[in-house]
Structures are given as C-alpha cells and as structure tokens.
Amino acid sequence: MTNHLGDMQNSEAIIIFGANPAANHPIAMQHILAAKEKKNATIIVIDPRYSRTAAKSDIYCRIRTGTDIAFMYGMIRLIRDNKWYDKKFLNDRVYGIEEIFKECEQYTPEVVEDITGCPKEILIQATAAYAKAKPGCLIWNQGWTQHTIGSSNTRMGPIIQLLLGNMGVEGGGTNILRGHDNVQGGTDMGCLADTLPGYYGLAEGSWKYFSERWKLDYDWVKSRFKSKEMMEAKGFSLSLWLHGVLDEANAKNNAGTPLKALVCIGNGISTITMTHKVKEALDKLDMVVFIDPYVNDAAVITTRNDNLFLLPAASQIETSGTTVNTGRSAQWRFKVVDPLYEARPDHEILFDFAKRMGFYEQYTRALGDGKGNFQWPEDATREIARTLKTIGLQGWLPERIKAQTENWHMFDTVSLAGYGPMKNQYYGLPWPCWTEDHSGSPVLYNINKPVSQGGMGFRNRFGLEHNGSSLLAGAGSAPKGSSVKGGYPEITGDNIESLGIKLTDKERELVKGKNWKNDNSGILNKKAIAAGLVPYGNARARTIVWNFIDPVPKHREPLHSIRTDLIKKYPASADNPNHFRTAVRYLSEQTAQDWAKDFPVNIVSGRLVEHMGTGTETRASKYLSELAGEMYGEIHPELGAKLGIRDGEMMWVHGTAGGKIKIKAKYGYSVLPDQVFLPQNFSGMWQGEHLGDRYPEGTAPHSYGENSNQVTSYGYDQQTSCPETKCSLVRIEKA
C-alpha cells in the first residue's frame, strides 16, 4: 500500500477493483465516503457483482470475473489516444510504457465489451472521469489477487497510476485493503514461502547476513536443511502445501520426500481453494498441529483419529507487541489480561518447541544479552529494527512505537502528521523509517518531500540500464533537497563518495564492501539521508518485468472460463513443473474439457460485513451469528426459475474438482443469471452433514454453514501461487 487509509480523503476520484470495502473494510469505507462528502470525489466501482460499495458509486462497471486486465487495457488505450497521461512523469520516472501502449492497441472499446461484458459507453465514461480527476486513488483487494493472473492484475493497476502521474502524491497511489490487522506485518516478517524476513531473498548472501544478525554460524544454519539447494529453494506455499502431501510426484521437488507433518499457527487453511482436497491432505499426514485461540475449522473437517493436536493460543488482548496495518504503520498492542486457562502466547509455544528440539539457545541468542536474558517482546522488536533494513525498520524502536500509541490523539487522521510532543513524525512510523529519529513515510515515492521527512523516488533494484535505456530517474526528479538532482544507484560503501558524500578513514573501512541492506554500522543510511539521498537509490518504475512469465501483463482467460470461445485467443500459460515445489497445471487444465458445458454458473465469492475470514471467531459470537447465521447462495430469479429452485429452497452446488455443498437459495438482483454469490465465512457443515459433534466440549460456534471453498476450482497464480477462487465454475441442482 503506497499511501494510507486517511489519505483517501485527499482524492478527487477513487477507483475500486476487486474489493467491497463497505462489507469487508468498513473503516476504509468511512474514508472513501469522507472523500465523496468533502472533495466531491467520483467513486468508480468495477465488480462482477453489484455490491454495497457499488451502491455508493457514481459509476458502476459490471465485468465478467477474470477480465480486469482487458478492462484496464481498454482504459489505457483511451488514455493514450486522448493524451490524458502525464507526459513529464512518464519521461522522467517510468521505464517501458511504450510496450504497454503496444499491448493496449488490440483492446478497442468494442473488444473490451466483448471480453468483459461491460458496455463500451460505461468504459469510456469511467476512464474519462478517472483520468481527468487529479489526484486519483486506486483500491484493490482479493478480487484481484485470487486469479491465475492475479500478479498481472496487481501490476496493471500501478501502471495506470504511473500513466496518470498518480504515484507519489497525496490522494493518489495504490491502496490494498487487507482482511484483518497485521497481514502486512506478517508478510514483512517473512511469512511467505519465498523470502526471509524483510523480503530478503533466499540466496546464500541473505542467509549469511541473517546468520550474522542472529549471532549464529552460517554452517550451523545450513546444517538445519537437508541440502544447500533446499535451503535456497522456495518452499511450499499456503495454497500448494496439500499437493506436497497428495501428489507423490511432487516429492522430487522436495528433496525426494512428501510432506509428512503440518504445524498451522494462526491461519485458516480452509480458506484456500478445494477444501475437500485440504481434508484429504490432513487425513493423510502423519501428524497435524493447530495453534489457535479458537478451534481451527480445518481441525473439525479432518476425520483423522490420531496425532491431531490442538494447542490453545492466547488472544490478541492477552499478549503485547507490535501490529502493522495495511498502510505500513506500526502500533503497540498492550496486554489487557493474562492468558486464560491453558492458553499460551505464540512465542512461549514456539520457545517450548525449540527447547524440546534442542535449539532454544541458538533460537534466542540475538535477544537481550545473548545469554537467555531478554525482555519480550521489546527485545524482539529491537532485533527486528536492527535487522530489517530492506524496508527501513531501523526507526521502529519499542519506545517510539509505544509513545505514539499512548499519544495517538496528537496525530492528524488524514495526513498522519503529529503535533506537540509528536511533531516531525507520522503515526505508526510507516516504513521505510530509516533511522532512530526518522519521521516515517506515509506516501511512498513522493519526491515533493525531503528524504528526512518521508520523501523518496522509486527504488533502484533492477540494474542501471535495460536494453540500452537508463533505469535511473531523469533530471529534476529527485526528492526535495537532494544533493543529486536526478537518478542514482543504491548506496554502497564503494559508490557513496562518488555521490559527493565524504567519509572518514574509519567510516570508509566500516562500510567497505557493504550496501544499505547489510551495513550494520548505519553509516550509509545516515550519511545518505543527511545529503537528501534515499538509501535504495532513485530509479524509474518499470512496467516490464523481464523475469516474469508475462513481461508485459496479458489478459488470459481463467482456467475454467465460461467463455470457451475466447480460450484459443487468450490461453493460459504453460504448465509449471516446479512452482513452489509443485507441478501446477495451467494450459492443460484449461483445455482438459469444455468446463462451461457441465458447469455453466460463475462463482462470485466474498465476505459478509458481520464475519471475518472463515468466521471462526465471529461465528463464536451469538450476536453476530444472529445477524448473519446462515450460509446461502444468492442467485438471480431467472436462474432459479430455469433450475426449478424457489427462493429459500435448498440446492446442491457442484464444483469442477469434485466438491459439493448443500445450501439455501436466496434470490437477488446483485448477480447476473449466470452467477452465484457465495459468502466465504462459514464452516461446520460438510456436504450436507452437520459437524457440531466434532468440536471439543464448549468450543462449538453459534452458527454453522457449508464452506464455499469446497466448490472453488483448481487454479493458482502463475507467479505467486495465490489460489484462483474468484474464477470458479459450478453446476447448481435442486436438493
């Protein structure tokens, strides 16, 4: 998220793709409505379903699921032809826009209408309204990411913002709304299968850096892996781990062995696609452990009868430490009460594991005095601050974060700027927060501010040139007060003096061979910021990602497309034999059969405002269960009449991968006659069977329902492996 929630109030136009903040992010929706009230901002919503957010929009564009890229190329073509783009911004700060213009050529308004189903007049109206309003803010959520080309969706949106000069400005940017608090923080801490904390890669250099930071011998760390190759390879991702259990052929990508045990901590793994396959994997594993304040729904779904462990974890009000919101801001969570009953904080459970497995001393060596004497979580926060330089967490000291949280009333809710004792800092010290006295950076890539006050250009991380063109920013496009007025590479011990910064002999020796990401002396950062330079350099944003499957984003039809006539022209990518240690089908799955013939209804899934995630916590509330206590499928009356299903009657929904759910039909006009809306917040029912007796005594929720992901289709993003839950086909029958 380049900007933050409050900054939306500075927007003249807000365009929302693949998100329904009125139901899913009501706090964000308040800022959107404030922009509409205070700035008369134009609200544009692009969504397959007429949602609560769409009801508040000025322009609503209904598109077919999985066709966002075609719609955006239609926008880009109109922006290009009408010269609505920001020419100076493109010339000085963007690389590769010519290739985007070439790709957009085929997407005339008529072609876009055919692919997306959105009338060309609406496309033109929405594009003109958004392009002419300055600044414009872009919002998205899981409706964009959960596709085989979700990574291309999340590239296309920023490209439009670059094209219009909406990046690095207040009221602009790209704003990704997360499902709950600390999603951003969990990602920052390396809870992904392909990075170390702080988005450091898995190469030897990164492991050696962390070994040094953890005060461990690199060879000892390497010895914890079966091989160096496995140490530096991507792991199984959240969406693909089950295939490491069920598909024995994947063992070759996992050092010759299938997965045998699962420890799940704080994650609703029943939210990924094909939950019935998740059940099969849970049943097959040798051991399964769930660490959760509530009974994880997956623990109820599995029918295994041994080696299933439920460890009660403390809730957020029973623990303390930092939590990070979607806008990259940190806040201190103070403990309210001690953990109740047998519940234990996550760190105590993990420390206990480390002791029993024989590496507790190494696990905690970097904390406190390095001899087992430390203060939790303050010393862990300090370890994070001194280690994660890539995203600039050096200023995230517990004392600073606590002081801000205790004085939250001294910050402006729109700009995040502090006043009084909190002056010269932004609330939550949004990263990058380069030094112990840095202000934080509420708006990424803003060159209208000095670096010391959160200003920066685009990061130099892809080299100095590509195909003979410079990747460094143009003249005059550096942050305010910069000693270098144009582009420059990332700061290293070898080039810092060539940028006009003087070092003493001692400083020169300390930073020799170092760069801003691994300089533990802090000299490179402090010297650079004093000269108005950003540690990571000042480059052009690239629209071409030459190491991706699609260097330029392409519209590709969903694997299970309702428009089979378009598959030949817009085919899926080739199958990938080793995608996060899994052989993943793309083109072969798409062409395996005429999916739309047997499964003619498109799922449009989403959340309900009363519930979070699978509803594990919220369905434990009798009040929320009273408000929304029943799973259903919303279908258009025309579809109901065609299938002989009346409003309120039960129906079976069958998925392409063999799953099925029995739910109540609810008539509605928010969906088209070839769609069904399925809430994703229910569990505790399984293909018509009630699972209430599987919950331990006293832990059952107040409401139950079929898990919608039993009928979502096979499919994973071609770059990230995010599940394609937003482009599934189903067959509906009267129960």
SS (H, E, C) 49-62: CCCCCHHHCCEEEC
The range of the structural domain enclosing residue 637 comes to 595-734
CATH code for position 156: 3.40.228.10
Does 277 have pLDDT greater than 90? yes
Best CA proximity match to 157, nearest among 141, 135, 171: 141
In the prediction, which pLDDT does 127 show? 98
In the prediction, which pLDDT does 451 show? 97
Note the pLDDT tens digit of each residue in 590-623: 999 999 999 999 999 998 999 988 888 899 999 9
- Give the pLDDT mean for 425-434: 97
CA angle 2, 3, 9 (to 5 degrees): 150
Contact (Cβ atoms closer than 8 angstroms) between residue 430 and residue 237? no
Q: Are residues 162 and 229 in the same domain?
A: no
Q: Is residue 415 part of a domain?
A: no
In the prediction, which pLDDT does 118 show? 98
In the prediction, which pLDDT does 700 show? 94
CATH code for position 315: 3.40.50.740
Q: Are residues 133 and 220 in the same domain?
A: no
In the prediction, which pLDDT does 2 show? 96
d(CA 628, CA 622): 10
d(CA 589, CA 585): 6
Q: Are residues 268 and 301 in the same domain?
A: yes
In the prediction, which pLDDT does 254 show? 96
Query: In which band, very low, low, confident or very high, does the pLDDT at 226 lie, cut at 50, 70 and 90?
Result: very high
Q: Is residue 375 part of a domain?
A: yes
List CB contacts of 423: < 8 A, sequence separation 6 or more.
none
Q: Is residue 479 part of a domain?
A: no
In the prediction, which pLDDT does 354 show? 96
In the prediction, which pLDDT does 271 show? 80
Domain count, the chain: 3
Dihedral of the CA atoms 550, 551, 552, 554 (nearest 10)? Answer: 0
Note the pLDDT tens digit of each residue in 314-329: 999 999 999 999 999 9
- Give the pLDDT mean for 495-524: 94
Question: Which 3-state string (H, E, C) describes 340-395?
Answer: CCCCECHHHHHHHHHHHHCCHHHHCCCCCCCCCCCCCCHHHHHHHHHHCCCCCCCC
What distances in angstroms separate CA 711 from CA 26, 248, 655, 657, 724, one per listed residue? 28, 24, 4, 7, 12
d(CA 606, CA 143): 8
Torsion sign across C-alpha atoms 574, 580, 583, 588: negative
Q: Are residues 163 and 195 in the same domain?
A: no
Does 663 have pLDDT greater than 90? yes
In the prediction, which pLDDT does 372 show? 87
Burial 233-249 (b: 16+ CB within 10 A, else e): bbebbbbbbbbbbbeee
- Phi and psi, residue 540, nearest 5°: -95, 145
Contact (Cβ atoms closer than 8 angstroms) between residue 590 and residue 561? yes
Alpha carbon of residue 161 to chain centroid: 18
In the prediction, which pLDDT does 471 show? 96
d(CA 465, CA 348): 48
What distances in angstroms separate CA 97 from CA 104, 257, 446, 541, one per listed residue? 11, 45, 20, 10
- Give the pLDDT mean for 198-207: 96
Best CA proximity match to 247, nearest among 559, 574, 584, 560: 584
Best CA proximity match to 457, nearest among 469, 468, 471, 439: 471
In the prediction, which pLDDT does 182 show? 87
**Residue type, position 8, single letter:** M
Note the pLDDT tens digit of each residue in 71-87: 999 999 999 999 999 99
Q: Choose the final residue of a domain: 345, 364, 380.
A: 380
List CB contacts of 106: < 8 A, sequence separation 6 or more.
73
Q: Are residues 36 and 92 in the same domain?
A: yes
Q: Is residue 114 part of a domain?
A: yes
Q: Are residues 114 and 205 in the same domain?
A: no
Query: In which band, very low, low, confident or very high, does the pLDDT at 370 lie, cut at 50, 70 and 90?
Result: confident
Share of the chain above pLDDT 90, in %: 94
Q: Is residue 432 part of a domain?
A: no
Q: Is residue 253 part of a domain?
A: yes
Q: Is residue 540 part of a domain?
A: no
Q: Are residues 12 and 111 in the same domain?
A: yes
Torsion sign across C-alpha atoms 464, 465, 470, 472: negative
Contact (Cβ atoms closer than 8 angstroms) between residue 511 and residue 519? yes
Does 143 have pLDDT greater than 90? no
CATH code for position 621: 2.40.40.20
d(CA 446, CA 454): 8
Q: Are residues 219 and 364 in the same domain?
A: yes
Q: Are residues 23 and 125 in the same domain?
A: yes
Share of the chain above pLDDT 70, in %: 100
d(CA 48, CA 670): 9
Note the pLDDT tens digit of each residue in 49-61: 999 999 999 999 9
- Give the pLDDT mean for 514-518: 94
In the prediction, which pLDDT does 382 show? 96
Q: Choose the final residue of a domain: 380, 396, 414.
A: 380
In the prediction, which pLDDT does 178 show? 83
Mean pLDDT of the chain: 95
Q: Choose the final residue of a domain: 352, 380, 408.
A: 380
Q: Are residues 150 and 278 in the same domain?
A: no
The shares of helix, strand and coil residues in the chain, as percent rounded to the nearest 5, are 35, 15, 50
The residue length of the chain stands at 735
Does 206 have pLDDT greater than 80? yes
Question: Which 3-state string (H, E, C) describes 495-518?
Answer: CHHHHCCCCCHHHHHHHCCCECCC
Q: Is the peptide bond before 293 cis (omega within 30 degrees of 0)?
A: no
Query: In which band, very low, low, confident or very high, does the pLDDT at 179 lie, cut at 50, 70 and 90?
Result: confident
In the prediction, which pLDDT does 180 show? 77
Q: Is residue 461 part of a domain?
A: no
DSSP symbol at 419:
-
Q: Are residues 626 and 724 in the same domain?
A: yes
Q: Are residues 626 and 684 in the same domain?
A: yes
In the prediction, which pLDDT does 612 show? 86
